Structure 1
Amino acid sequence: MSSEYSYDEQGQFFPFFVATLAGLVTIPLTYNVLKPSTDPAVSAPRVRSEFRPEHADLIDGQKKVQKRRERKLKRIITVVLGWVVIALMIYLIMVTSRTVAKIWNPYDILGISDSATEREIKSHYKRMSLKHHPDKVRPDPAKNETIESLNEVFVELTKAYKALTDEDIRNNYIQYGHPDGKQSFSIGIALPNFIITDGNGKYVILMYAVMLGVLLPYLVGTWWYGTQRMSKEKVLIESANKLFQEYKEDIVQGEIITALSSGVEYNNILKGEKAYSNLGKLESRVLAEGETSGLAGGLSPKDREALQNLDGGVRRKALALLWSYLGRVELDDTPLNKSKVEVAPIAHALNNSFTAIALAFGTTAPILASYSAAQNLMQAVPPGASPLLQLPYFTKQIAQAVEGEDSRTHLSLQQYMGLPEDYRKKITVGKGLMSEQEYQISMKVARQLPNYHVEKAFFKVTGEKYITPSSLVSLVVKGRFIPPGSLNVPAVVTADLDDIDAAEDDLNAIRAEKAAEQNQELPPLAHAPYFPRDYSPRWHVFLTDSKQGKMAVPPFTFTTFDKPIYDESGKPTFNVQTLKAQFQAPPQAGQYTFVMHLVCDSYVGFDTKMEVTLTVAEASAAVEIDAEDDISEPDEDSVAGQMAMLKNGGALPPRRKKQAVQDPSDEESDTEGEEAADDTSETDTDTDEE
């Protein structure tokens, strides 16, 4: 037997090879393109507003650029091309399958069943030989028949007959699949013949060199370098290292803005001459005296000194642009205004990285300062400026007029919207202030902002009455979204503030909990008209130790909620929303007082700060109390009850009244340390809105 290797001249194997390779790439990419988007901006509701900020066209343009990047255009094109290639290969497979030679089968040639007996085979062959014998038939030109073709048919019939009746020939057929014994065979390589045609060899070698020596290392290197050069917060590692060097324990918001200007990402938008062009004009606008007080960009004297001490270049211009964005400074220059808009999302991403660094150190002040910086960047409000600037048409002049020129503190949105309607309108609408229409638009937006108001906060262990050392504790926060200025807010239902665990055998309650976990409600996208991105607000809950100034429990982040926040008409539902954060209890029994921070990263002044007390009971004491609670006299219809009746002359002994035991973990504490009995370790929520 001989063998030879041949290339796929007829294209029998090549389409299978190409279709397989294309499928390995196309099918996963198709899933990636078609899978539902996890971006909240796709399905989240929006705050309804007719307000259009200055240079809205530049802001909208940046949003469109970002959306084009998120559309995965390159992957979509690759998927389409991949399926076109697969379809073409399937077509070639179907076409070439018609020309592929079939396996030699004597039964098929004779046209008889595989189960035919030798007698039936002989009888059938005799009839076929009479019909197809060359002496009996004549060629039919209409069927393109010739004497040679008729002879070949008769020879095949005879060979098939002998393969089934002659012992030697039959053995060859059984062992080797052919009446003539061993046959040479060829192995078809799934490459077309043109590849190895004389003269094409050098091109094939060049193609392999490019694929294996250039393209493959480039793709692998790009992937590896990309994973290594980016941090988990999607910023360059080099930028994260620079932010790490800028960190200090007493850093404040203005210094964080300065630190954010060190990011390498600004090089992409401030290349070459852009780093120096119009820098003097930009700084003169940012450092000019404001119309009310301070500098136009909202810098403090220390921030101005930090800007002026920087060497000229990308970082100095990036910092000046950041302050012009925060101060909403008009630059009267389209390229500068465009760059002012572009630096905002870069700074926001860098601030997320700085927050991660602050959390790693665990000091409370830098953590809170980084969250406040995120709020400032989202709302384009300088550190320390009035929270009223978050509302449409509010300027520094209007905010100062509302708050009073001599006022040393700012009004929060909640305080401003809590003013009597007539008085609020009187101090806001007028000459040099807002028009009636602008005021109504501003009030409409304010009444849609998702302000989470904490109603109750307490600690518990799921399924247990007591909190014991090192147990898994849940901080349960109950609150409602009450937008500033909401009218006719219903009283909270006391039962909604309880957190009752479902019984192990209560399948309906368990199913309801599972359904609530799956059907989470999204809050409205952040109303941030100056920020060139759609952003879904996040609420961070964490505990700190006020005595040491350190974080005690890391932040738990919430982006969805278990009940609708607004109804179909856009009105608030005032549903009680539950936030839960789990952590391990201290290893020692006692009372632990923490400060709970609930921070919204998208709005200034929507944060909550309050004291909460965790009471950890001794494990042995909790066991004893549980044992006492479980003691009860037997029921009359039980065997033990009947025995007791016999011993006591036919009557059950009087039941012992259970002693009311105060649960050491069921102490309610307000911010002044008052205590009361309850199911769990609770905290009064007369909170200070910050």
Structure 2
Amino acid sequence: MSTDYTYDEKGQFFPYFVITLTSLVTLPLTYNLLKPSKELENTAPRIRSDFKPEHEDLIEAQKRKRLRKERRIKRIVTVVLGYTIMAYMVYLIIVTARSTTKIWDPYEILGISRSADERAISKHYKRLSLIYHPDKIRPDPAKNETIEMLNDRFVELTKAYKALTDEEVRNNYLQYGHPDGKQSFSIGIALPQFIVTEGNGKYVLLVYGCLLGVLLPYIVGKWWYGSQRYTKEKVYVATAGNIFREYKEDITDGGIVNALSSGDEFKEIIPAQKAESGLAKLEKKVLAEDAKFLSEQDREVIKGLDDSSRRKSLALLWAYLGRVELEDSTLNGEKYEVAPIALGLNEAFTAIGLAFGNLRPVLGSFRTAQSLIQAIAPGSSPLFQLPYFTKEVVESVEGADVKNHFTVQKFMKMPEDKRRALTVGAGLLSEKQYTAAISVAKQLPVLQISKAFFKVMGEKVITPSSLVQLVVKARFIPPGSTNVPEVNPADLEDIDPEEGDLDALMGRGPSRNRSVKFADGQNHGNKIQPPLAHAPYLARDHSPRWNIFLADAKQGKIAVPPFTFTTFDKPLFDESGKPTYNVQTLKMQFQAPPQVGDFPFVMHMVCDSYLGLDSKLEINLHIDDPAKAAALAEEDDISEPDEDSIAGQMQALKTGQPPKKKTKKPVEDSSDEESDTEGDEGDTSDTNTETDVDD
């Protein structure tokens, strides 16, 4: 069978070419849009509350605006356009197939039934010959017929007749589907002929030159430049440089807010031409004398800025933190828009602070995150986190002139009648508002440390430069909780996983050790997320993060950088919404100091989403001499094997005497012994392991 290569003059195969190229772009983009999001904010539960803040419509509008930006409208439009083109190409393919695909059928050509016998076929053919023989018929000008068309028609009739009556022709038809035998197969190149027609080559080269020499480099360059504009904290490189220049070792919380206003991201929502609009009104509100949340130094910083865009951004940030009513919908909308941007920029400031290793700026950045999420100015009362709590309510609880603000925990420890008397009344809260505030307070995820110690997996002592684990045992105890059960001592122990349990050893999953069970008797494999931060003024959802790090208090330096925890291994609440008080296990691994001795640290645990939930404790890391570890290992090696072990049976075969069966110690004694050997926990037990949260 011969093969002829011809160009697709009618464009019959060109749709295949287009649909292939389009699918290469559309299908990956579709997967990117439809794949499940891994962001914590999309999977976490919410704190139950009916509180609606002032300007809720503006806050929700900013949330929707941010979501639209994150969803990448361009990608959605590209996918829709891609599928539209693909659908049209499929339609062209179907239509083309219907018009071009036709099987040679002699019965259809002759217009005779398939049940007709040879005699009927011959009779019918003779009748058609009298009608369509070229000598009997003339071309019809009305049908644009020609002599060649009439001849071809009669030839087809003759072939059809012979295919049904002549034995040789019939065999060709049955074997090859055509009376002439094998037919040539034409492959149409999926490009219209005009592309390769002589004389069009220069235009084709011009198109390819534009595609490969201009468009492709532009797209790649734009992608590369766009990717290089951002740091790993997803802020502009220029912004990181601006914040770096604002960084100081003694920077205050207000100074951090000022540093964040230097971000170029604010210029996208407040360009130079819009900076002056409403700036005077904004500053009048923010710099008013009754705005006690601003220090004199922070006021002077706003007044001293020459850049209008940055000046307005900083004023809007302080208006957001001070919950200042700007009496202008546009300014109020901008006020809620700048807060999520500043929260993202704060991560860059934290990274810079960690690079320098100074404790004060890092703690300040964590406190700034709390302030931005809760819309509370630095140094203000944590009670503003509760719904409906205003300046008047807070002053009624704390007093007009208070140096140490109440935490939510301290407020909830007050007797119910006293608490109600201070918050309910004329100019304060109604009964319904009080009930809503208490309901939210009882859902705040306060993580209280029960125990913390150092250990090396599989070892009894900690040696120089070994990989140490800081194990923190803690429970979520919401403020105002009553009848809190005592901690089960077994939950405070940390049992090493089995040697073959690689997932647990590498921290990729729960232990297969059946003896490792939680308080509810289960070995949970799924990670539990705490509820989203109750942040009604923040125009985005935020999942709380707990940062644990070690600091050298004497030098004011970070000793071990923060480990961030967003999920936990046991449920925080049961199905009815009541706290479970499960002991959560948090582990951090780092390299021990290379020297032998005692190393005192201060462990900080900071929640980035709420004020007043931070805690810290002093903890001691004891490093033993390697000789002690070797001696302990030698004692383990020469210890007499158990009777039921393989080693014990081998010893019995050699000596003829079974080994002495070891007596098991009581559970209480074994747990005490283990706690004394795991990272010299006896040393840390003398330290204060209670959280230093102000009551």
Q: Shorter-chain TM-score: which interval?
A: 0.7 to 0.9
Aligned to 1:572: 579
- Give the distance between the partners of 1:527 and 1:576, measured in 2 at CA: 23
Distance 1:300 1:91, change over 3 A: same
What are the Cα deviations for residues 393-414 of structure 1, in whole angstroms up to 9, with x where unaligned?
1122321221122322111111
Deviation at 1:389, TM superposition (A): 1.0
Q: Aligned pair 1:613/2:620, yes or no?
A: yes
Q: How does 1:465-614 map to 2 (within 5 A)?
A: 465-504=460-499, 509-510=511-512, 519-614=526-621
Distance 1:16 1:490, change over 3 A: same
Higher mean Cα deviation, 511-520 or 153-162?
Answer: 153-162
Q: Aligned pair 1:245/2:245, yes or no?
A: yes
Sequence identity, in percent?
Answer: 55
Equivalent position SS for 2:690? coil
Deviation at 1:635, TM superposition (A): 6.7
Deviation at 1:370, TM superposition (A): 0.7
Deviation at 1:200, TM superposition (A): 8.5
Aligned to 1:125: none
- Give the distance between the partners of 2:580 and 2:476, measured in 1 at CA: 8
Distance 1:50 1:142, change over 3 A: farther
Equivalent position SS for 1:542? strand
Aligned to 1:460: 455
What are the Cα deviations for residues 255-284 of structure 1, in whole angstroms up to 9, with x where unaligned?
001111111111122224421123222222
Deviation at 1:380, TM superposition (A): 1.0
- Contact 1:468 / 1:617 at 8 angstroms: preserved in 2? yes
Distance 1:643 1:425, change over 3 A: same
- Give the distance between the partners of 1:438 and 1:539, measured in 2 at CA: 30
Higher mean Cα deviation, 455-464 or 418-427?
Answer: 455-464
Aligned to 1:667: 680
* Structure 1: tracts of 5 or more residues without a match: 110-129, 166-172, 676-682
- Give the distance between the partners of 1:53 and 1:311, measured in 2 at CA: 34
Task: Give the TM-score taking structure 1 as reference length.
Answer: 0.81
- Give the distance between the partners of 1:238 and 1:155, measured in 2 at CA: 85
Equivalent position SS for 1:339? helix
- Give the distance between the partners of 1:661 and 1:458, measured in 2 at CA: 12
Q: How does 1:234-313 map to 2 (within 5 A)?
A: 234-290=234-290, 295-296=291-292, 298-313=293-308
- Contact 2:441 / 2:479 at 8 angstroms: preserved in 1? yes
What is the one-letter code of the residue matched to 1:510? Answer: R
- Give the distance between the partners of 2:268 and 2:235, measured in 1 at CA: 13
What is the one-letter code of the residue matched to 2:68? Answer: R
- Give the distance between the partners of 1:14 and 1:516, measured in 2 at CA: 59
Q: Aligned pair 1:425/2:427, yes or no?
A: no
Deviation at 1:102, TM superposition (A): 11
Higher mean Cα deviation, 319-328 or 430-439?
Answer: 430-439
- Give the distance between the partners of 1:539 and 1:563, measured in 2 at CA: 16
Q: How does 1:109-120 map to 2 (within 5 A)?
A: none
- Contact 1:138 / 1:147 at 8 angstroms: preserved in 2? no
What is the one-letter code of the residue matched to 2:512? Answer: I
Distance 1:103 1:55, change over 3 A: closer
Deviation at 1:36, TM superposition (A): 0.9
What is the one-letter code of the residue matched to 1:428? Answer: T
Equivalent position SS for 1:611? strand
- Contact 2:5 / 2:188 at 8 angstroms: preserved in 1? yes
Deviation at 1:199, TM superposition (A): 10
Equivalent position SS for 1:689? coil
Q: 1:687 aligns with which of 674, 681, 691?
A: 691
Aligned to 1:402: 397
Aligned to 1:41: 41
Deviation at 1:376, TM superposition (A): 0.7
Deviation at 1:579, TM superposition (A): 1.2
Distance 1:205 1:311, change over 3 A: same
- Give the distance between the partners of 2:318 and 2:568, measured in 1 at CA: 35
The aligned length equals 636
Distance 1:597 1:36, change over 3 A: same
Q: Aligned pair 1:323/2:318, yes or no?
A: yes
- Give the distance between the partners of 1:142 and 1:286, measured in 2 at CA: 104
- Give the distance between the partners of 1:135 and 1:505, measured in 2 at CA: 89
Equivalent position SS for 2:512? helix
What is the one-letter code of the residue matched to 2:20? Answer: T
- Give the distance between the partners of 1:593 and 1:75, measured in 2 at CA: 53
- Contact 2:475 / 2:583 at 8 angstroms: preserved in 1? yes
RMSD: 4.2
Q: 1:627 aligns with which of 626, 631, 634?
A: 634
- Contact 1:132 / 1:150 at 8 angstroms: preserved in 2? no
- Give the distance between the partners of 1:527 and 1:663, measured in 2 at CA: 41
What are the Cα deviations for residues 56-82 of structure 1, in whole angstroms up to 9, with x where unaligned?
111111111122233444333333332
Deviation at 1:497, TM superposition (A): 1.5
Q: Aligned pair 1:60/2:93, yes or no?
A: no
- Give the distance between the partners of 2:131 and 2:566, measured in 1 at CA: 77
Aligned to 2:231: 231
- Give the distance between the partners of 2:399 and 2:538, measured in 1 at CA: 28
What are the Cα deviations for residues 195-215 of structure 1, in whole angstroms up to 9, with x where unaligned?
568999898677556544554
Equivalent position SS for 2:395? helix
Deviation at 1:16, TM superposition (A): 2.4
Deviation at 1:243, TM superposition (A): 0.3
Deviation at 1:666, TM superposition (A): 4.4
Deviation at 1:314, TM superposition (A): 0.7
Higher mean Cα deviation, 617-626 or 242-251?
Answer: 617-626
- Contact 2:642 / 2:661 at 8 angstroms: preserved in 1? no
- Contact 1:617 / 1:665 at 8 angstroms: preserved in 2? no
Higher mean Cα deviation, 68-77 or 455-464?
Answer: 68-77
- Give the distance between the partners of 2:660 and 2:45, measured in 1 at CA: 65
Q: 2:407 aligns with which of 400, 407, 412?
A: 412
Deviation at 1:226, TM superposition (A): 0.9
- Give the distance between the partners of 1:628 and 1:657, measured in 2 at CA: 18
Distance 1:415 1:93, change over 3 A: same
Equivalent position SS for 2:483? coil
- Give the distance between the partners of 1:595 and 1:231, measured in 2 at CA: 31
What are the Cα deviations for residues 343-370 of structure 1, in whole angstroms up to 9, with x where unaligned?
1111111111111111111111111111
What are the Cα deviations for residues 316-356 of structure 1, in whole angstroms up to 9, with x where unaligned?
11111111111111111222111111111111111111111
Aligned to 2:348: 353
- Give the distance between the partners of 1:142 and 1:95, measured in 2 at CA: 37
- Contact 1:644 / 1:652 at 8 angstroms: preserved in 2? no
Equivalent position SS for 2:628? helix
Aligned to 2:112: none
- Give the distance between the partners of 1:497 and 1:11, measured in 2 at CA: 75
What is the one-letter code of the residue matched to 1:550? Answer: K
Higher mean Cα deviation, 657-666 or 11-20?
Answer: 657-666
Deviation at 1:97, TM superposition (A): 5.2
* Structure 2: tracts of 5 or more residues without a match: 107-117, 134-152, 503-509
Equivalent position SS for 2:250? coil
- Give the distance between the partners of 2:661 and 2:483, measured in 1 at CA: 53
What are the Cα deviations for residues 189-234 of structure 1, in whole angstroms up to 9, with x where unaligned?
3222465689998986775565445543332222112101112112
Deviation at 1:643, TM superposition (A): 6.1
Q: How does 1:336-351 map to 2 (within 5 A)?
A: 336-351=331-346
Aligned to 1:76: 76
Aligned to 1:391: 386
Distance 1:101 1:337, change over 3 A: closer
